[in-house]
Amino acid sequence: MRKGKLAVIGAGKWGQALHFALSQKEECYITSRSKRDIKNFVDLEFALSCEYLVIAIPAQEIRNWLEKNFVYSNQKILVASKGIEASTGAFLNEIYSNFIPNNSIGFISGPSFAAEVIQGLPCALVINSKSKKIYEEFSKFFPNFIKTYYSSDVVGAEIAGAYKNVLAIASGICEGLNLGNNAKASLISRGLVEMQRFGKYFGAKKMTFLGLSGAGDLFLTANSTMSRNYRVGLGLATNRSLEEILKELGEVAEGVQTANAIDKLSKMYKIYTPIAKEVKLILDGKSPKDSLNDLIKN
Ligand SMILES: NC(=O)C1=CN([C@@H]2O[C@H](COP(=O)(O)OP(=O)(O)OC[C@H]3O[C@@H](n4cnc5c(N)ncnc54)[C@H](O)[C@@H]3O)[C@@H](O)[C@H]2O)C=CC1
Ligand SMILES: O=C(CO)COP(=O)(O)O
């Protein structure tokens, strides 16, 4: 029996911001692994009984979470995570497809720092789904300060949202090394070309990379210390260990594991991804200055 209509699963930064936004028009519930002092906090059983679910847990945890917790009872799902599974190279839509039919799931993408959404500041986002009905149903829940667009290019939006996190790490490194504005603009624009090339291999549409899900989110994340991934890059540039940087961050930086996933997929399918490759090598201990030299030379 349904106990409510709409719930967010995951009460991290993004889950809480989406809960705030979706509560403007509709009674919206929220759940998490541990109890939180948030209005309309419910247990997982209550949340799973809702007809509409927004899932905002880190990409690397999704498969395990679905296997252990998820019971499909015709819910409609909106996935809010941005990443690629590092252990397998699987895209999130592939993981979810083992549990939820294609026409019942959508993926939200676009430039959206949780810290701004939770203040009610305006932005434009994309709901990507094979089913336009999913877009129509979820978009009704979004508040007036968020404009939503529809796209059927699920794989394109997913790759753009995940890849930009790796490029944000690269951009943070560029800033931390004081390489200047020209270098950063070069890196971001070549990064955009690189993620589009990677996406094309998997059937993504070029336009997705030029819109909100690609350029929009890349320009946001690769230019601001509000981005966790960018801050990881800043730390790496000053030769701090990844372990120390992540400990201090205390939140997820999806680009770290997504760099491993892209490396795996690029090698497997022979896709040219020079920036993501250097980010992966730096995360594994290569000197950022050596990476810069190699990027310029090759
Ligand atoms: N923070 C932001 O501005 C945005 C984040 N995202 C994406 O949303 C996803 C979540 O990010 P944040 O909420 O910001 O991260 P966060 O680090 O603030 O919170 C992650 C949440 O996931 C929960 N979690 C972790 N492992 C879990 C598991 N095994 N089972 C159940 N829950 C688990 C944690 O308890 C925590 O509440 C990421 O994929 C991120 O890239 C997307 C757009 C904006
Ligand atoms: O995806 C985001 C904004 O759209 C958040 O980026 P970070 O995870 O790097 O903070």
13-36 pLDDT tens trace: 999 999 999 999 999 999 999 999
The mean pLDDT of 103-131, rounded to a whole number, is 98
Ligand number nearest CA of 246 is 1
pLDDT category at 37 given cuts 50, 70, 90 is: very high
Alpha-carbon gap, residue 190 to 162, rounded angstroms: 16
Residues making up the annotated binding site for NADPH are 14, 33, 82, 114, 228, 252, 254
pLDDT score of 50: 98
Answer yes or no: is the C-beta of 56 below 6 A from any ligand 1 atom.
Answer: yes
Q: Mean pLDDT for the chain?
A: 97
pLDDT category at 224 given cuts 50, 70, 90 is: very high
pLDDT category at 262 given cuts 50, 70, 90 is: very high
pLDDT score of 142: 98
Alpha-carbon gap, residue 291 to 20, rounded angstroms: 41
The mean pLDDT of 175-198, rounded to a whole number, is 98
164 annotated active-site: yes
Strand partners, 41: 30
pLDDT score of 248: 97
pLDDT score of 15: 98
Which of 13, 133, 147, 164 is labelled catalytic?
164
Residue 72 has pLDDT above 90, yes or no: yes
Residue 188 has pLDDT above 90, yes or no: yes
pLDDT category at 215 given cuts 50, 70, 90 is: very high
* Backbone dihedral region for residue 256 (phi beyond 0: left; psi -120 to 50: alpha; all else: beta): alpha
pLDDT score of 213: 98
pLDDT category at 226 given cuts 50, 70, 90 is: very high
Shortest CA distance to 55 belongs to which of 107, 93, 2?
Answer: 107
The mean pLDDT of 99-128, rounded to a whole number, is 98
pLDDT score of 286: 97
pLDDT category at 260 given cuts 50, 70, 90 is: very high
Domains of the chain with CATH codes:
2-152 (3.40.50.720), 155-297 (1.10.1040.10)
Q: Pairing state of beta strands 123-129 and 105-109?
A: antiparallel
Ligand number nearest CA of 13 is 1
**Which of 16, 220, 251, 256 maximizes ligand 2 atoms within 8 Å of its Cβ, making it the mutation to test the pocket?**
220
Alpha-carbon gap, residue 173 to 31, rounded angstroms: 35
pLDDT score of 1: 84
pLDDT score of 298: 83
Cα 187 from chain centre: 20
Q: Could you tell me the distance, in angstroms and rounded to a whole number, from the CA of residue 3 to the centre of ligand 2?
A: 32
Stated pTM of the model:
0.98
3-state DSSP percent of the chain in helix, strand and coil, to 5: 55, 10, 35
Answer yes or no: is the C-beta of 228 below 6 A from any ligand 2 atom.
Answer: yes
The mean pLDDT of 170-182, rounded to a whole number, is 98
Sequence-ordered strand ranges (E) for 130-270: 146-151
pLDDT category at 66 given cuts 50, 70, 90 is: very high
